[in-house]
Each structure stands twice: as structure tokens, then as C-alpha cells.
Structure 1
């Protein structure tokens, strides 16, 4: 892993946590958050979805922001959540937030994406019941693939949008300027939207930046990046710090 100088693009607090872990492993990083979130106002119908939580056989929480906002809403409506409703998350960090609330949550040990969750035996069992109803706690417009796959399997799926994602404001050329000033030689994104924001911020400098190794969390994001012209895409098979460190070790020296 020697020689890596990475650009981190997660929200500020998440990037700080990741940077500390990387520093312990001897990896230099610089942060430019390209994805932030803000809570959405909830409609009466959305509150009723949570009030009717016992109607769902499974609740899927797709991200840490969804977990935090979902827990706050849960505290208002279900101090003791219905025992028959099973909880699932896409990643370990999200699962930990739910577990800290006292929820019994399952998540895929390998992979932080929809495909990994769909392959989880406990999840497949929960949603295979006749008349299965599933609630997805998510951001605005997120996880359409998961919804489509579940409906193809015969489940009734509802989404509860709790937040929206946005690109923070930066002056033009901020991204290439930081990469040059910090002598960065690798880019890290944690989602498809994070990559789209990276591409947007790169603007005219994208052909040059597309030559840098790009670390992504899943095959879906890897495909998106390659289609946009990224030349050296490394699929970390997860968005966690552990997944990134593993990918760095397997990649070895700077490409």
C-alpha cells in the first residue's frame, strides 16, 4: 500500500473517520466531500407507513443517513418495534446503527450493495412468504434496482424517502486543483451518485483524472465509471474502510 495518496469524497464526518483508519495503515488521504445529505419533510402518508410498521415482513435500511433518520422516526412511533418485522441493511456500518438501537438486523457479510443483500439467505427467506410486504428506508430516488428485483419476485414494495443527496458548492476547478496540490494518485467514491458528482466536478479535467486509479464499492458503480471513461477501476466489493484497505493491499503498489 506504500505510496498511495487518495482523494476521499464521502460526507465530511465519514471521510474523517475513513482518513483516520487509512492513516493508521500508513495511507495518506485528502478529503473533498462530494455528497452531503439533508432530511426531507415527511408527509402524513409517510408517517403512516412507519405507524403501520407491523404490516411489513421486512424493513430494508440502505444507508447510514436512512438509519439515523429512520431510528428517530421509529422512536416517535414504535418505542418497542413489532417483533414479527425483520430488519435488514445493505452494509455493516448501517447495521451497527440499527443494532445500537436494539434492533435485530441482518446484513450481507460480503458486499455493500443490493445484489449482496438479495443473495442473503435470511433476506430471501423473509421476502419469499406469500403476500410479502417490504418497506425500504432510503434517500430520494435511491435503490430502484432493489425495488425492481423484489417486485419481480412477487413482493409488494414501498419506499420511505427520508433524505436527499446533494453536491456541496465549490469554486470551479477545485477538484483538479486539490489533486494536483496534494499530489494525489488515487480516487475513492462510495456510491454511484458520488461518482457522478466526481465526474461533474472534474469537468474539462476529466480525461486526465480518468487515468487515475478509481476505487469503487460495487460492480454497478464500476460499470458506471468505466462507461464514463475511467481507465483503472478497482471494485472494492464494499464501501467499508476494511474493503478499501483490502483492495489497496491486493492492488499493491501504485498502479
Structure 2
């Protein structure tokens, strides 16, 4: 079964290599590209407020990179933030923070829901200042729930998410390949990547129907399920607990055993 690796280009290599070593054909087709936003006056006003924050939630390795670059731009040093507890959405982001000497808390499930279950967030008092290093449109559910609990949110929008231009350019060559497949598997790791896929496949209902979508987390599973129901589409969905290579390989083995 063909596997479509939709992860951003800088995070796709390990998974693609492992799949190919397991003799699984892979099509690298990133559905998200993360582009840093320029340094701006709003960011210059936000950064000094980190001195009053108790927690920084970091949602991706890109957020780590851009956030640290702009920390320097703001004339601040990392050692001035030793009072802060860092939270990383997953192991890759945790490692990116570790490269700066930061030990971060990581949820068991790499989703907003998983992060909200972390004891440190569940024990916070109303009025606690929590900063988010994120991309445009990322983690709105988590931020809204914390606001409703009375938390003070610092919203750092550090980058934008878009469908890669190269992916759009490759589409005419990819469609014939997908038309030849009886079925294919694909990881859906965010709502933005799912919406980009649907936009790319506009008018290609037969190709969408061939997909076996490995979906990260309960909320995203519901988003894809709602699309299936509303469009009266016919495709398969399976939940992923995380984006670890072993988890994806195990799910692929299950699917291939059932087809």
C-alpha cells in the first residue's frame, strides 16, 4: 500500500526512511509549510511580558526556532526566564527545547487535549500568565479553554502555515499515480493539513475515497469524521495516539493485514 507522508519536509525524513526500509512505497507530499512572521511592534511589546509568565507552551520545533531567534531580537536572554515551566506539544518539540538546555513537560497524547491534561496546567490558579509560542491558527481550542478558566494568555503568533508551493506544482504529476492506487494511507496531523488536502483534491472524490487516514487525536478524528458524514464520503479513518514512527508503522501493519 502506498503511504503518503504529509509531514513538513524537515520532519518527514525519518518516517519516510523507516517506511522504505520496511518495503513500503512512500510518496513525500508535505501539506504544511511553516514560514516565520517578520519581527514586528506587537512582538516587541509581547516579549518583555514573558517576565511575568509562569508557563510557555511551545507547539512545534519551528516555534522553538523562531521564538528563540526573536528572544534575542527583543534583547532578552534565556537565563532571564529560569522561573518559567516549558511545555512542548510532543517529543520533537521537546528535543528542540533540549538543544537550548530546557527540560519541558510533554503530554502523553500530542494534542491540545493531551496538553490540557498535564497536571501543571490542571493545577494552575485563575490569573496565571501562560504564553503560547505558536503559528497562525494553531491551538485555538487550548487557548480558549484556558481563557475560560481565568488564565491570562500571551499570544505569540510566530509563523504562518500554508500549503507548500512545490506540493501544488507537483499535483498534476501526482494525480495519475493516485488514480492507479487501489488504496493508500496518509497521516493527518492537523486540521490545517486536512483542509489543504481537501482543497488540493477538489473535484477528486474518487481519490479521497481511496484514502486510509491515520488521524492524530480525538478532536481531529471528529473533524475528519464530520467531513465524511457531511460529504457522504466513503473512506477509512484510524486514530493515532502520537506521531512516533513506530506507532505509524504499527497502524500500517494493522491496515495492510485487513486489506
Q: Taking structure 2 as the reference length, what is the TM-score of the superposition? A: 0.87
The change in CA–CA distance for 1:49 and 1:211 in structure 2 (over 3 A counts) is same
Instruction: Provide the residue aligned with 2:118 in structure 1.
Output: 120
Structure 2 CA distance, aligned partners of 1:35 and 1:226? 21
Structure 1 CA distance, aligned partners of 2:181 and 2:211? 14
The change in CA–CA distance for 1:121 and 1:104 in structure 2 (over 3 A counts) is same
Structure 2 CA distance, aligned partners of 1:130 and 1:250? 44
Summarize deviations over 1:178-205 as a string: whole Å, max 9, x none.
Answer: 3246776212222111111111111111
The change in CA–CA distance for 1:161 and 1:253 in structure 2 (over 3 A counts) is same
Structure 1 CA distance, aligned partners of 2:62 and 2:258? 33
Instruction: Provide the residue aligned with 2:177 in structure 1.
Output: 178
Structure 1 CA distance, aligned partners of 2:195 and 2:161? 12
The change in CA–CA distance for 1:8 and 1:192 in structure 2 (over 3 A counts) is same
The change in CA–CA distance for 1:174 and 1:217 in structure 2 (over 3 A counts) is farther
Instruction: Provide the residue aligned with 1:143 in structure 2.
Output: 139
Q: Structure 2: give runs of 5+ residues left out of the alignment.
A: none
Residue 237 of structure 2 corresponds to residue 233 of structure 1: yes
Of the structure 1 ranges 169-178 and 142-151, higher mean CA displacement relative to structure 2 is found in: 169-178
Q: In structure 1, the residue corresponding to 2:56 is in which secondary structure?
A: strand
Summarize deviations over 1:21-48 as a string: whole Å, max 9, x none.
Answer: 2223343211112211111012223123
Instruction: Provide the residue aligned with 2:130 in structure 1.
Output: 134
Of 63, 67, 71, the residue aligned with 1:66 is 63
Structure 1 CA distance, aligned partners of 2:140 and 2:257? 37
Q: Structure 1: give runs of 5+ residues left out of the alignment.
A: none
The change in CA–CA distance for 1:195 and 1:138 in structure 2 (over 3 A counts) is same
RMSD of equivalent CA atoms: 2.1
Residue 41 of structure 2 corresponds to residue 44 of structure 1: yes
Instruction: Provide the residue aligned with 2:188 in structure 1.
Output: 189
Residue 104 of structure 2 corresponds to residue 105 of structure 1: yes
Q: Taking structure 1 as the reference length, what is the TM-score of the superposition? A: 0.88
Structure 2 CA distance, aligned partners of 1:14 and 1:206? 28
Q: Is the 8 A contact 1:202 1:209 kept in 2?
A: yes
Instruction: Provide the residue aligned with 1:166 in structure 2.
Output: 162
Residue 244 of structure 2 corresponds to residue 245 of structure 1: no
Structure 2 CA distance, aligned partners of 1:13 and 1:178? 24
